Amino acid sequence: MNSSFKTVITYGTFDLFHYGHLEILRRAKELGDYLIVGLSTDAFNRIKNKKCIFAYEKREEILKSIKYVDKIIPENSWSQKPFDIKKFDVDIFVMGDDWRGKFDELTDSCDVQYLPRTKGVSTSELKQIIDK
């Protein structure tokens, strides 16, 4: 690959896939040529005390259908990000700006960018509506 080729990585659970998810994936892909998505496994979500509506395999199928996503890897722990960045020769790490500052230690390995969240939609809000 030539030096202008940029690999981007982001992570998430992507449960109840919605427009906000699509937007962060689109904007992440616009930053480079190849987008890797670290998809939180069911076991990791339990560690995070996060209850998913859809199992990992279903969330992975949804992500596979998104044209911006080039590769999906399982996210099994908080600590794997630096290893993934090195393994996949990542140039840009992307997260929503609700995580601002949480991954700044990765700036030694790659460019870290926090993108603004899409206003008016979130999985937490959708779950609250469903629970009513």
Active site residues: 48, 50
C-alpha torsion angle, residues 119, 59, 96, 125 (rounded to 10): 40
3-state secondary structure of 109: coil
Vertex 116 angle, CA 50 and 62, to 5°: 50
Which bin fits 90, alpha (ψ -120 to 50), beta or left (φ > 0)? Answer: beta
